C-alpha cells in the first residue's frame, strides 16, 4: 500500500487570544489517501477550519502554536516551517470559502491565472501560460474562456469565480486539495455544479481532497470518510455512508436530527441525470422562444 498524501498525528493548535490561550485543536489524527475525500464536519468554533489553516501554515506564527505531526507528501509541515512554502500552490492547493474576496479585484482573471500557472511551471512564457489558462477554464466548464480571462473578478458570478479558483488549484497539479467550505457562500443549484465539478476532477486526476464543511448533506455526498469535530476533537470518525446511516455518538445523532427532512420524492433524474438537462433546456425555451435556433423552430 502506498503512503497517504496527508498523514496527521495528534495535531494540536493553541491560539493566543486577548482572553488567554485557547486550545482550538486538541489532538486530532487522520489520513487522506490518493483519490480520497476526507471531511471534517462541525459547527462554528469546532476547530475544523483552524485544523485546515494550521496544516497549510496559514495561521500567524506569533498567535498560533502548532504541535504534533502532519506529513504532507513526506514533509512534516509542523516542524518544517519553510518546507510548507514550497508545497503551497504546488503539492497542496486551497479552495477558499468566499470566492468573491479570494482574487485580487484590480487585476484581470487572466493575469492572476497566468501568475498561478507560472509558479508551477516557471519555464512557460506568458503566452503559453495564457493558452494553458484557456484550457483550464474549459476543464472547469466555463463558456467563452478567452473573454473571461480579460474580465475582472467583479464581472463574474460567485459560482464562476469558484470555478476560476478551482482551475487555479488544478494548475498547481496538486496532490491534495484543501477545500474550506467551498460552496457555503453559493446558491444551492450553483453549489451542486461546483460539487459535481470537484467530483469530476477527482475522477479524472485522482487528487486527494480534504473538505471542511458544516453541511452534512455536502459531507455525505463528497466524502469517503467523515470526522465529526466538536471543541477541537473528533467525536466520531466513520465511513460517510455508515456515519449517516448509523451514527454512534450522541452529538452526531443530534446534528443529523437537526437537518430538516424534505419528505418523499421519487426524483426521475437520479436514474437518468441527462433527462434533467433536456427538461431544463425545454423549460427555458418555453419561456424564451427567441432562444430556439431558427432551423428547429
Partner 1 sequence: MTTPLLDVRDLVVEYPTPNGSFRAVDGVSFSVARGDTLAVVGESGCGKSTIARTLVRLNKPTSGSMVFDGTDLGGLTEKQLRPHRHRIQMVFQDPYGSLDPHLTAQQIVAEPLRVRGGLSGRTVNARAADLIERVGLPRTALERKPVEFSGGQRQRIGIARALASEPDLLVCDEATSALDVSVQAQVLDLLAELQREQGLTYLFISHNLGVVRAIAQHTVVMRSGRIVESGPTDQVLSAPQQEYTQRLRRSALVPGTMQGRKPRAVVRAIALARRAENELLARGGTDQHAQAGPDSPVAAAPTPR
19 — alpha (psi -120 to 50), left (phi > 0) or beta?
A: alpha
Identity of the residue, 128 or 215, whose beta carbon is nearer to partner 1 in the bound complex: 215
Alpha-carbon span 153 to 278, nearest angstrom: 31
Q: Does 61 bind partner 1 (CB under 8 A)?
A: no
DSSP, collapsed to helix, strand or coil, labels residue 148 as helix
Give, as ranges, the residues between 3 and 22 that touch partner 1 (CB under 8 A).
none
Alpha helix ranges (H) inside the chain? 48-55, 83-87, 99-102, 109-120, 126-139, 145-149, 158-171, 188-205, 216-222, 240-245, 250-258, 273-287
Residues 6+ apart with CB under 8 A from 69: 7, 8, 9, 10, 11, 76, 78, 79
Using CB under 8 A, which of 48, 163, 220, 227 touches partner 1?
A: 220
Q: Does 38 bind partner 1 (CB under 8 A)?
A: no
Identity of the residue, 63 or 281, whose beta carbon is nearer to partner 1 in the bound complex: 281
We find the least distance from the C-beta atom of residue 76 to partner 1, in angstroms, to be 30
Using CB under 8 A, which of 134, 192, 231, 235 touches partner 1?
A: 192
Give, as ranges, the residues between 88 and 147 that touch partner 1 (CB under 8 A).
141, 143-144
Q: Assess contact for 33 and 202: CB atoms under 8 A.
A: no
> Cell numbers at residue 142, please?
466555463
Among the listed residues 95, 92, 131, the one whose alpha carbon sits nearest the alpha carbon of residue 114: 131
Q: Assess contact for 95 and 179: CB atoms under 8 A.
A: yes
Identity of the residue, 245 or 248, whose beta carbon is nearer to partner 1 in the bound complex: 245
Query: Please, what is the angle between helix 126-139 and helix 109-120, to 10°?
Result: 100
Using CB under 8 A, which of 113, 219, 229, 238 touches partner 1?
A: 219
Identity of the residue, 51 or 183, whose beta carbon is nearer to partner 1 in the bound complex: 183
We find the least distance from the C-beta atom of residue 101 to partner 1, in angstroms, to be 16
We find the least distance from the C-beta atom of residue 22 to partner 1, in angstroms, to be 16
> Cell numbers at residue 139, please?
476543464
Alpha-carbon span 5 to 14, nearest angstrom: 25
Using CB under 8 A, which of 86, 187, 204, 246 touches partner 1?
A: 187
Identity of the residue, 39 or 51, whose beta carbon is nearer to partner 1 in the bound complex: 39
We find the least distance from the C-beta atom of residue 187 to partner 1, in angstroms, to be 4
Using CB under 8 A, which of 159, 163, 166, 210 touches partner 1?
A: 159
Among the listed residues 22, 30, 26, the one whose alpha carbon sits nearest the alpha carbon of residue 12: 26
We find the least distance from the C-beta atom of residue 139 to partner 1, in angstroms, to be 14
Q: Does 153 bind partner 1 (CB under 8 A)?
A: no
Give, as ranges, the residues between 241 and 280 that touch partner 1 (CB under 8 A).
241, 244-245, 254-256, 258-265, 267, 269-271, 273-280
Identity of the residue, 72 or 160, whose beta carbon is nearer to partner 1 in the bound complex: 160
Using CB under 8 A, which of 196, 204, 246, 250 touches partner 1?
A: 196
> Cell numbers at residue 283, please?
423549460
Q: Does 172 bind partner 1 (CB under 8 A)?
A: no
Instruction: Report the length, in residues, of the chain.
Output: 297
Parallel/antiparallel/unpaired status of strands 208-213 and 176-180: parallel
We find the least distance from the C-beta atom of residue 103 to partner 1, in angstroms, to be 15
Amino acid at each position: 500500500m502506498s503512503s497517504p498524501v496527508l498523514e496527521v498525528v495528534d495535531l494540536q493548535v493553541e491560539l493566543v487570544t486577548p482572553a488567554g490561550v485557547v486550545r482550538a485543536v486538541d489532538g486530532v489524527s487522520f489520513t487522506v489517501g490518493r483519490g480520497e475525500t476526507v471531511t471534517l464536519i462541525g459547527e462554528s468554533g469546532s476547530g475544523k477550519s483552524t485544523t485546515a489553516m494550521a496544516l497549510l501554515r496559514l495561521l500567524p506564527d506569533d498567535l498560533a502554536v502548532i504541535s504534533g505531526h502532519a506529513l504532507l507528501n513526506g514533509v512534516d509541515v509542523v516542524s518544517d516551517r519553510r518546507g510548507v512554502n514550497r508545497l503551497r500552490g504546488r503539492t497542496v492547493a486551497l479552495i477558499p470559502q468566499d470566492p468573491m474576496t479570494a482574487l485580487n479585484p484590480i487585476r484581470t482573471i487572466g493575469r492572476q491565472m497566468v501568475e498561478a500557472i507560472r509558479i508551477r511551471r516557471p519555464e512557460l512564457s506568458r503566452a503559453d501560460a495564457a493558452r494553458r489558462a484557456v484550457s483550464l477554464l474549459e476543464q472547469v466548464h466555463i463558456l467563452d474562456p478567452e473573454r473571461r480571462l480579460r474580465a475582472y473578478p467583479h464581472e463574474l458570478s460567485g459560482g464562476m469565480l469558484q470555478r476560476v479558483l478551482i482551475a487555479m488549484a488544478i494548475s498547481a497539479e496538486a496532490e491534495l486539495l484543501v477545500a474550506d467550505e467551498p460552496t457555503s457562500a453559493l446558491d444551492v443549484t450553483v453549489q451542486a455544479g461546483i460539487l459535481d465539478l470537484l467530483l469530476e476532477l477527482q475522477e479524472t486526476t485522482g487528487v486527494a481532497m480534504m473538505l471542511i464543511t458544516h453541511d452534512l448533506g455536502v459531507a455525505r455526498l463528497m466524502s469517503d470518510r467523515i470526522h465529526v469535530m466538536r471543541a477541537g476533537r473528533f467525536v466520531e470518525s466513520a465511513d460517510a455512508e455508515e456515519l449517516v446511516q448509523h451514527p454512534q455518538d450522541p452529538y452526531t445523532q443530534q446534528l443529523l436530527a437537526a437537518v430538516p427532512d424534505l419528505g418523499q420524492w421519487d426524483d426521475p433524474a437520479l436514474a437518468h441525470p441527462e433527462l434533467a438537462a433536456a427538461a431544463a433546456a425545454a423549460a427555458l425555451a418555453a419561456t424564451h422562444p427567441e432562444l430556439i435556433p431558427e432551423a428547429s423552430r
